[in-house]
Amino acid sequence: MSKGLNDSRTDFPILDQEVNGEPLVYLDNAATTQKPVSVLQTIMHYYEHDNANVHRGVHTLAERATEQFEAARDKVAAFINAPSRKTIVYTRSTTESLNWIASSFGNAVVNEGDEIVISELEHHSNVVPWQQVAKNQHATLKYIGLTADGELDMDDARKQITDKTKIVAIAHASNVMGVVNPIKELAQLAHAHNAYMVADGAQSTPHLKVDVQDLDVDFYAFSGHKMLAPTGIGILYGKPEILDEMEPTQFGGEMINEVHEQAADWKESPWKFEAGTPNISGAIALGSAIDYLNNLGMDNISAYEQELVDYTLPKLTQIDGITVYGPHDPAKHTGVLSFNLEGLHPHDVATGLDMDGIAVRAGHHCAQPLMEYLSCEATCRASFYFYNTKEEADRLLDALNEVKEFFANGTSKAERTV
């Protein structure tokens, strides 16, 4: 490894700033990650030197843009151990990827009386599209429950997934509870009932080494902006035999083979799904982000984030009046920590932390069914990435105690030090 994790912060200029007079502590990585200089430079270089549309041009700039665009597709395939570039479809986001699966594939294979199985942990992007398929096809949408400590209940999974099940769609890692779900086991269970396995990899791909062939998922979706790349670029992986049979959901330039007055046919996968001018710079920058992550090593990233959780979670659970959602065993937890302070609204807590320069997210995190399941309206969420430090974790813990004291006694840190 040519670059150590401890040295990586210097690659992220946005982290070197003050917010409200305090050094920034950025703990909103589950929503979006910051971008290293190398990724920013890749975007600038493309627009300064290679900006042209892909695939359709024979001039030099178009050829250079196409070469970089398709080279990035190869990097994505290698990063998740996909069998070929033809299994990698560029989209705008995890959300768009999941919607495409639901609207194109889901509506084609789900019939009246069939069942779709998701879980109580899912992001709205992996709930609402399947609600629509169930409604359109007069099918049943079923939910796998959770154990007492917030893990997916595999005993319940075995009850919910039956011979009526056509689709099982589960997050690889929860954006609220901080748990990694047993996707490989779920895929085996789904396939045993002749169902298809869809995995939402938005919260796992940036943090874990992903092998879609080992997981044996039929589809896998993730977003670039949660793994150092820009917003607006996403990936849909699909098994080649399934993508070959799927119909595109958008039509126009790029994706066609031939068009006549009354008929048209499409290119092969994945290009038949990529109508119109794609996010070329975003795709190339995603390739650069993957280079950066590979340089650090995904195993190193996972191990370091586990150190941060091992350090932070026990101390977080010891704060008086705090409720931490998800497993309290750090070994079962990703870098996503969701919590509430008794008697305080999460928005008030997040605002108080922001006054100390600490960025966390507060709300339902696009997981309202899970909030209902937990009998709460919202939570605070601190989410770590490899450029965070134990010192920043200490700042979070100290600030939470200060926020508690402020709301209890009406005094701020500045007032107490005068």
Q: What is the DSSP letter of 282?
A: H
CATH number of the domain at 318, please. Answer: 3.90.1150.10
Mean pLDDT value of segment 299-321: 96
CATH number of the domain at 85, please. Answer: 3.40.640.10
Residue range 174-225, pLDDT digits in tens:
999 999 999 999 999 999 999 999 999 999 999 999 999 999 999 999 999 9
The one-letter amino acid code at 192 reads: A
Give the integer Cα–Cα distance in Å for 327 and 349: 22
Write the CB contacts of 418 (distance below 8 Å, at least 6 apart in sequence). Answer: none
179 falls within a domain: yes
Q: Tell whether 317 and 200 lie within a shared domain.
A: no
- Average per-residue pLDDT in the chain? 93
203 falls within a domain: yes
SS3 state at 386? coil
Q: How far is CA 91 from the centre of its chain?
A: 14
Q: What is the DSSP letter of 106?
A: I
Q: What pLDDT sits at residue 413?
A: 53
How sure is the predictor about 70, in pLDDT bands with cuts at 50, 70 and 90?
very high
Q: Are 100 and 130 in contact (CB under 8 A)?
A: no
Mean pLDDT value of segment 47-70: 94
How sure is the predictor about 2, in pLDDT bands with cuts at 50, 70 and 90?
very low
Give the alpha-carbon dihedral of 152, 154, 160, 163, to 10 degrees. 130
In terms of residue numbers, what domain contains 56? 40-294
How sure is the predictor about 358, in pLDDT bands with cuts at 50, 70 and 90?
very high
Q: Tell whether 360 and 244 lie within a shared domain.
A: no
Helix residue spans in 195-345 (DSSP H): 212-215, 240-245, 280-296, 298-317
Q: Tell whether 167 and 290 lie within a shared domain.
A: yes
Residue range 30-54, pLDDT digits in tens:
999 999 999 999 999 999 999 999 9
Residue 55 CB-density burial (10 A; 0-12 exposed, 13-18 middle, 19+ buried): middle
Mean pLDDT value of segment 146-152: 94
How sure is the predictor about 3, in pLDDT bands with cuts at 50, 70 and 90?
very low
b/e 330-344 (16+ beta carbons within 10 angstroms → b): bebbbbbbbbbbeeb
Q: What pLDDT sits at residue 133?
A: 98
pLDDT above 90: residue 409 = no
133 falls within a domain: yes
How sure is the predictor about 410, in pLDDT bands with cuts at 50, 70 and 90?
low
How sure is the predictor about 253, in pLDDT bands with cuts at 50, 70 and 90?
confident
Long-range CB contacts (within 8 A, 24+) of 54-60:
54/277, 54/278, 54/280, 55/254, 55/271, 56/253, 56/254
Q: Are 147 and 327 in contact (CB under 8 A)?
A: no
Indicate the number of domains in the chain.
2
Q: What pLDDT sits at residue 5?
A: 74
Return the sign of the alpha-carbon dihedral for residues 28, 33, 36, 42.
Answer: negative
CA distances, 282 to each of 29, 82, 92, 116, 214 (Å) = 19, 20, 9, 33, 28
Place of tokens 């589809």: 219
70 falls within a domain: yes
Phi-psi region of 206 (alpha: psi -120 to 50; beta: other; left: phi over 0): alpha
Mean pLDDT value of segment 62-78: 97
Q: Tell whether 270 and 353 lie within a shared domain.
A: no
Structure tokens at 1: 């490894």
35 falls within a domain: no
Q: Tell whether 162 and 219 lie within a shared domain.
A: yes
More confident residue, 261 or 291: 291
Q: Are 225 and 43 in contact (CB under 8 A)?
A: no
> Could you say which of 366, 371, 376, 397 is catalytic?
366
Active site residue 366: yes
Q: Are 358 and 396 in contact (CB under 8 A)?
A: yes
The least confident of 2-6, 121-125, 409-413 is: 2-6
| pTM, to two decimals | 0.94
Q: What pLDDT sits at residue 139?
A: 98
Q: Tell whether 237 and 368 lie within a shared domain.
A: no
Q: What pLDDT sits at residue 252?
A: 79
Mark which of 294, 310, 337 sits at the end of a domain.
Answer: 294
Q: Tell whether 234 and 358 lie within a shared domain.
A: no
More confident residue, 132 or 268: 132
Q: Tell whether 277 and 338 lie within a shared domain.
A: no
Backbone angles phi, psi at 262, to 5 degrees: -120, 5
pLDDT above 90: residue 411 = no
The one-letter amino acid code at 391 reads: E
Q: Tell whether 70 and 142 lie within a shared domain.
A: yes
Is-cis flag, bond preceding 314, omega within 30? no
Backbone angles phi, psi at 101, to 5 degrees: -60, -45
Q: What pLDDT sits at residue 193?
A: 98
Residue range 75-94, pLDDT digits in tens:
999 999 999 999 999 999 99
Mark which of 234, 266, 294 sits at the end of a domain.
Answer: 294
409 falls within a domain: yes
CA distances, 415 to each of 77, 224, 257, 349, 410 (Å) = 55, 43, 70, 18, 10
Q: Tell whether 285 and 304 lie within a shared domain.
A: no
Mark which of 273, 294, 315 sits at the end of a domain.
Answer: 294
Q: Tell whether 220 and 181 lie within a shared domain.
A: yes
Return the sign of the alpha-carbon dihedral for residues 390, 392, 398, 401.
Answer: negative
112 falls within a domain: yes
Q: What pLDDT sits at residue 412?
A: 53
Q: What pLDDT sits at residue 256?
A: 76
Q: Tell whether 103 and 248 lie within a shared domain.
A: yes
Q: Are 161 and 117 in contact (CB under 8 A)?
A: yes
Q: What pLDDT sits at residue 417?
A: 42
